[in-house]
Protein backbone atom coordinates (compact mmCIF):
# COMPACT_ATOMS: atom_id res chain seq x y z
CA UNK A 1 0.00 0.00 0.00
CA UNK A 2 1.24 3.49 -0.80
CA UNK A 3 1.27 6.24 1.77
CA UNK A 4 -0.61 9.19 0.38
CA UNK A 5 -0.39 12.63 1.99
CA UNK A 6 -3.71 14.14 2.87
CA UNK A 7 -4.82 17.02 0.64
CA UNK A 8 -7.43 19.62 1.57
CA UNK A 9 -8.58 21.91 -1.25
CA UNK A 10 -10.83 24.93 -0.82
CA UNK A 11 -13.02 25.87 -3.79
CA UNK A 12 -14.16 29.46 -3.39
CA UNK A 13 -16.43 29.24 -6.46
CA UNK A 14 -17.67 32.71 -7.50
CA UNK A 15 -16.97 34.20 -4.10
CA UNK A 16 -14.18 36.34 -2.78
CA UNK A 17 -12.61 39.71 -3.29
CA UNK A 18 -9.22 41.24 -2.53
CA UNK A 19 -10.40 41.64 1.05
CA UNK A 20 -11.05 37.88 1.27
CA UNK A 21 -7.36 37.22 0.66
CA UNK A 22 -6.80 38.13 4.32
CA UNK A 23 -8.14 34.63 5.05
CA UNK A 24 -5.02 33.15 3.46
CA UNK A 25 -2.77 34.21 6.34
CA UNK A 26 -4.36 32.05 9.05
CA UNK A 27 -4.98 29.24 6.55
CA UNK A 28 -1.27 29.21 5.67
CA UNK A 29 -0.40 29.27 9.36
CA UNK A 30 -2.59 26.20 9.94
CA UNK A 31 -0.99 24.51 6.94
CA UNK A 32 2.49 25.12 8.39
CA UNK A 33 1.32 23.57 11.66
CA UNK A 34 0.17 20.49 9.71
CA UNK A 35 3.28 19.43 7.79
CA UNK A 36 1.72 16.10 6.78
CA UNK A 37 -1.13 17.82 4.94
CA UNK A 38 -1.12 19.63 1.59
CA UNK A 39 -3.47 22.61 1.55
CA UNK A 40 -4.77 24.46 -1.49
CA UNK A 41 -7.20 27.29 -2.21
CA UNK A 42 -8.86 27.80 -5.60
CA UNK A 43 -10.10 31.39 -5.73
CA UNK A 44 -11.81 32.94 -8.77
CA UNK A 45 -9.48 33.54 -11.77
CA UNK A 46 -9.21 37.24 -10.94
CA UNK A 47 -7.56 36.57 -7.59
CA UNK A 48 -5.07 33.85 -8.56
CA UNK A 49 -2.04 36.07 -9.05
CA UNK A 50 -2.69 38.07 -5.90
CA UNK A 51 -3.34 34.90 -3.92
CA UNK A 52 -0.18 33.24 -5.22
CA UNK A 53 1.85 36.25 -4.07
CA UNK A 54 0.69 35.74 -0.49
CA UNK A 55 0.20 31.96 -0.46
CA UNK A 56 2.70 31.36 2.34
CA UNK A 57 3.18 27.69 1.53
CA UNK A 58 -0.32 26.76 0.47
CA UNK A 59 -1.01 25.84 -3.14
CA UNK A 60 -3.10 28.23 -5.16
CA UNK A 61 -5.30 26.72 -7.82
CA UNK A 62 -8.05 27.44 -10.33
CA UNK A 63 -11.59 26.14 -10.65
CA UNK A 64 -11.70 25.43 -14.38
CA UNK A 65 -9.64 25.56 -17.57
CA UNK A 66 -10.21 25.42 -21.31
CA UNK A 67 -8.70 22.40 -23.01
CA UNK A 68 -7.27 24.30 -25.99
CA UNK A 69 -3.86 25.96 -25.98
CA UNK A 70 -5.18 29.29 -27.28
CA UNK A 71 -7.65 30.64 -29.82
CA UNK A 72 -11.08 32.12 -30.33
CA UNK A 73 -12.68 30.96 -27.07
CA UNK A 74 -14.15 34.11 -25.59
CA UNK A 75 -14.14 34.11 -21.81
CA UNK A 76 -11.97 31.02 -21.51
CA UNK A 77 -8.56 30.57 -19.85
CA UNK A 78 -5.89 28.05 -20.86
CA UNK A 79 -3.62 25.89 -18.73
CA UNK A 80 -0.58 27.94 -19.73
CA UNK A 81 -2.34 31.13 -18.64
CA UNK A 82 -3.27 29.65 -15.29
CA UNK A 83 0.28 28.47 -14.73
CA UNK A 84 1.65 31.89 -15.57
CA UNK A 85 -0.85 33.46 -13.17
CA UNK A 86 0.50 31.29 -10.35
CA UNK A 87 -1.87 28.31 -10.23
CA UNK A 88 -0.36 24.97 -9.28
CA UNK A 89 -3.49 22.82 -9.41
CA UNK A 90 -6.79 23.08 -11.27
CA UNK A 91 -10.23 21.52 -10.90
CA UNK A 92 -11.70 19.89 -14.02
CA UNK A 93 -15.23 18.59 -14.38
CA UNK A 94 -16.83 20.07 -11.27
CA UNK A 95 -20.50 19.11 -11.36
CA UNK A 96 -21.45 22.79 -11.54
CA UNK A 97 -19.51 22.90 -14.84
CA UNK A 98 -20.72 19.51 -16.08
CA UNK A 99 -24.34 20.54 -15.37
CA UNK A 100 -26.70 20.90 -18.29
CA UNK A 101 -24.22 19.09 -20.54
CA UNK A 102 -21.81 22.00 -20.63
CA UNK A 103 -19.01 19.48 -20.18
CA UNK A 104 -18.90 15.87 -21.30
CA UNK A 105 -16.51 13.24 -19.96
CA UNK A 106 -14.50 13.75 -23.14
CA UNK A 107 -14.15 17.48 -22.46
CA UNK A 108 -13.08 16.81 -18.88
CA UNK A 109 -10.50 14.31 -20.12
CA UNK A 110 -9.12 16.88 -22.56
CA UNK A 111 -8.98 19.53 -19.84
CA UNK A 112 -7.13 17.19 -17.48
CA UNK A 113 -4.70 16.21 -20.26
CA UNK A 114 -3.98 19.89 -20.97
CA UNK A 115 -3.30 20.52 -17.28
CA UNK A 116 -0.92 17.58 -16.93
CA UNK A 117 0.87 18.59 -20.13
CA UNK A 118 1.60 21.95 -18.51
CA UNK A 119 2.82 20.40 -15.28
CA UNK A 120 -0.26 21.39 -13.29
CA UNK A 121 -1.96 19.09 -10.80
CA UNK A 122 -5.36 18.13 -12.23
CA UNK A 123 -8.33 17.38 -9.95
CA UNK A 124 -10.88 15.39 -11.95
CA UNK A 125 -14.33 15.51 -10.32
CA UNK A 126 -16.94 12.77 -10.54
CA UNK A 127 -20.20 12.14 -8.71
CA UNK A 128 -23.68 10.76 -9.01
CA UNK A 129 -27.05 12.49 -8.95
CA UNK A 130 -29.64 11.74 -6.31
CA UNK A 131 -31.68 9.77 -8.87
CA UNK A 132 -28.72 7.57 -9.74
CA UNK A 133 -28.12 6.82 -6.06
CA UNK A 134 -31.80 6.09 -5.42
CA UNK A 135 -31.80 3.70 -8.36
CA UNK A 136 -28.77 1.91 -6.91
CA UNK A 137 -26.71 2.77 -9.99
CA UNK A 138 -24.32 5.15 -8.23
CA UNK A 139 -21.17 3.03 -8.27
CA UNK A 140 -21.56 1.91 -11.87
CA UNK A 141 -22.33 5.45 -13.04
CA UNK A 142 -19.47 7.09 -11.17
CA UNK A 143 -16.92 4.50 -12.30
CA UNK A 144 -18.07 4.91 -15.91
CA UNK A 145 -17.85 8.70 -15.58
CA UNK A 146 -14.39 8.37 -14.07
CA UNK A 147 -13.05 6.07 -16.78
CA UNK A 148 -14.42 8.41 -19.44
CA UNK A 149 -12.82 11.45 -17.79
CA UNK A 150 -9.33 10.17 -17.01
CA UNK A 151 -6.43 11.41 -19.12
CA UNK A 152 -3.30 9.37 -19.80
CA UNK A 153 -0.75 9.89 -17.05
CA UNK A 154 2.14 11.87 -18.44
CA UNK A 155 5.27 13.43 -17.02
CA UNK A 156 5.58 14.30 -13.37
CA UNK A 157 2.33 16.21 -13.01
CA UNK A 158 -0.11 14.78 -10.50
CA UNK A 159 -3.59 13.50 -11.24
CA UNK A 160 -6.07 13.70 -8.35
CA UNK A 161 -9.69 12.49 -8.29
CA UNK A 162 -12.50 14.13 -6.31
CA UNK A 163 -15.64 12.15 -5.57
CA UNK A 164 -18.43 14.66 -5.08
CA UNK A 165 -21.98 13.31 -4.92
CA UNK A 166 -24.03 16.04 -6.60
CA UNK A 167 -26.78 15.84 -3.98
CA UNK A 168 -24.25 16.65 -1.25
CA UNK A 169 -22.72 19.76 -2.84
CA UNK A 170 -23.79 22.92 -1.07
CA UNK A 171 -26.78 21.18 0.50
CA UNK A 172 -25.54 20.46 4.00
CA UNK A 173 -26.11 16.76 3.30
CA UNK A 174 -23.00 14.58 3.39
CA UNK A 175 -22.28 11.02 2.33
CA UNK A 176 -21.96 8.77 5.35
CA UNK A 177 -18.48 7.40 5.95
CA UNK A 178 -19.82 4.02 4.76
CA UNK A 179 -21.17 5.50 1.52
CA UNK A 180 -17.95 7.40 0.92
CA UNK A 181 -15.95 4.25 1.67
CA UNK A 182 -17.94 2.19 -0.83
CA UNK A 183 -17.35 4.73 -3.59
CA UNK A 184 -13.71 5.52 -2.83
CA UNK A 185 -12.96 1.80 -2.80
CA UNK A 186 -14.62 1.38 -6.21
CA UNK A 187 -12.69 4.40 -7.54
CA UNK A 188 -9.40 3.02 -6.20
CA UNK A 189 -10.04 -0.31 -7.94
CA UNK A 190 -10.87 1.48 -11.18
CA UNK A 191 -7.69 3.58 -10.94
CA UNK A 192 -5.55 0.53 -10.26
CA UNK A 193 -7.21 -1.31 -13.14
CA UNK A 194 -6.48 1.60 -15.43
CA UNK A 195 -3.02 2.67 -14.27
CA UNK A 196 -1.64 -0.34 -12.39
CA UNK A 197 0.67 0.54 -9.50
CA UNK A 198 0.48 4.26 -10.34
CA UNK A 199 -3.25 4.08 -9.63
CA UNK A 200 -2.58 3.36 -5.97
CA UNK A 201 -0.65 6.65 -5.66
CA UNK A 202 -3.51 8.84 -6.94
CA UNK A 203 -5.18 10.82 -4.18
CA UNK A 204 -8.98 10.56 -3.99
CA UNK A 205 -10.72 13.48 -2.27
CA UNK A 206 -14.25 13.51 -0.91
CA UNK A 207 -16.37 16.62 -1.55
CA UNK A 208 -19.88 17.54 -0.55
CA UNK A 209 -20.70 19.68 2.50
CA UNK A 210 -17.48 18.84 4.32
CA UNK A 211 -17.23 20.93 7.48
CA UNK A 212 -15.49 21.08 10.85
CA UNK A 213 -18.03 18.67 12.33
CA UNK A 214 -17.83 15.84 9.79
CA UNK A 215 -14.29 16.12 8.38
CA UNK A 216 -12.61 13.81 10.90
CA UNK A 217 -15.02 10.93 10.33
CA UNK A 218 -14.77 11.25 6.54
CA UNK A 219 -10.96 11.55 6.50
CA UNK A 220 -10.69 8.42 8.66
CA UNK A 221 -12.23 6.32 5.87
CA UNK A 222 -9.70 4.20 3.94
CA UNK A 223 -9.01 5.70 0.51
CA UNK A 224 -10.39 9.11 1.49
CA UNK A 225 -7.21 11.11 1.03
CA UNK A 226 -8.62 14.50 1.94
CA UNK A 227 -11.39 16.83 0.90
CA UNK A 228 -12.60 19.27 -1.72
CA UNK A 229 -14.40 21.90 0.30
CA UNK A 230 -16.72 24.62 -0.99
CA UNK A 231 -18.69 26.73 1.48
CA UNK A 232 -16.56 25.87 4.50
CA UNK A 233 -13.37 27.06 2.77
CA UNK A 234 -14.44 30.70 2.53
CA UNK A 235 -13.22 31.67 5.97
CA UNK A 236 -10.20 30.56 7.94
CA UNK A 237 -12.45 30.06 10.97
CA UNK A 238 -14.30 27.27 9.15
CA UNK A 239 -11.45 25.91 7.03
CA UNK A 240 -8.68 25.63 9.63
CA UNK A 241 -10.48 22.94 11.71
CA UNK A 242 -10.79 20.88 8.51
CA UNK A 243 -7.02 21.14 7.96
CA UNK A 244 -6.53 20.12 11.60
CA UNK A 245 -8.84 17.12 11.14
CA UNK A 246 -6.78 16.03 8.14
CA UNK A 247 -3.59 16.33 10.19
CA UNK A 248 -4.98 14.04 12.87
CA UNK A 249 -6.36 11.40 10.50
C1 LIG B 1 -17.60 21.91 -4.01
O2 LIG B 1 -17.94 22.96 -4.51
O3 LIG B 1 -16.76 21.22 -4.57
C4 LIG B 1 -18.23 21.52 -2.75
C5 LIG B 1 -17.99 20.32 -2.29
O6 LIG B 1 -19.03 22.45 -2.13
P7 LIG B 1 -19.61 22.35 -0.63
O8 LIG B 1 -18.47 21.96 0.27
O9 LIG B 1 -20.13 23.71 -0.34
O10 LIG B 1 -20.67 21.30 -0.63
Q: Is residue 21 classed as helix, strand or coil in its secondary structure?
A: helix
- Residue in 240, 232, 223 with CA at minimum distance from that of residue 187: 223
Q: Are 16 and 44 in contact (CB under 8 A)?
A: yes
Query: What pLDDT does 102 receive?
Result: 81
Express each pLDDT in 166-200 by its tens digit.
Answer: 999 999 999 999 999 999 999 999 999 999 999 99
Q: Does the CB atom of residue 229 touch ligand 1 within 6 A? A: yes
Give the atom of ligand 1 at the shortest distance from the alpha carbon of 94. Answer: 3
Domain contains 244: no
Express each pLDDT in 42-92 by its tens digit.
Answer: 999 999 999 999 999 999 999 999 999 999 999 999 999 999 999 999 999
164 labelled catalytic: yes
CATH of residue 50: 3.20.20.70
Q: Please tell me the total count of domains within the chain.
A: 1
- Active-site position among 158, 164, 184, 244: 164
pLDDT higher than threshold 60 for residue 1: no
| Angle, helices 24-32/236-248, rounded to nearest 10 degrees | 10
Domain contains 161: yes
Q: Does the CB atom of residue 166 touch ligand 1 within 6 A? A: no
Query: What pLDDT does 120 receive?
Result: 97
Domain contains 102: yes
Higher-pLDDT residue of 244, 155: 244
Range of the domain at 45: 6-238
Give the atom of ligand 1 at the shortest distance from the alpha carbon of 209. Answer: 10
Give the atom of ligand 1 at the shortest distance from the alpha carbon of 91. Answer: 3
Express each pLDDT in 126-169 by its tens digit.
Answer: 999 999 999 999 999 999 999 999 999 977 899 999 999 999 99
118 labelled catalytic: no
Query: What pLDDT does 26 receive?
Result: 98
Domain contains 66: yes
Q: Are 147 and 194 in contact (CB under 8 A)?
A: yes
Domain contains 1: no
- Residue in 138, 156, 146 with CA at minimum distance from that of residue 189: 146
Q: Does the CB atom of residue 11 touch ligand 1 within 6 A? A: yes
- pLDDT bucket at 101, cuts 50 / 70 / 90: low
Query: What pLDDT does 155 receive?
Result: 79
CA 53 to ligand 1 centroid distance, Å: 25
Rounded mean pLDDT, 209-219: 97
Domain contains 246: no
- The CA-atom distances, in angstroms, between 64 and each of 61, 96, 204, 215 are 9, 10, 18, 25
Going by alpha carbons, the residue nearest to atom 1 of ligand 1 is: 230
Amino acid sequence: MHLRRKLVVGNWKMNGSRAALAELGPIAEAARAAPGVDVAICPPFTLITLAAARAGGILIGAQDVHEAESGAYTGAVSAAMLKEAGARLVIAGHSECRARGRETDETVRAKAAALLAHGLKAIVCVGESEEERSAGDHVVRVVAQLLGSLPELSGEAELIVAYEPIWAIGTGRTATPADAGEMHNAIRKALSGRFGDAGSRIRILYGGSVNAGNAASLFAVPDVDGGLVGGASLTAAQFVPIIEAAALS
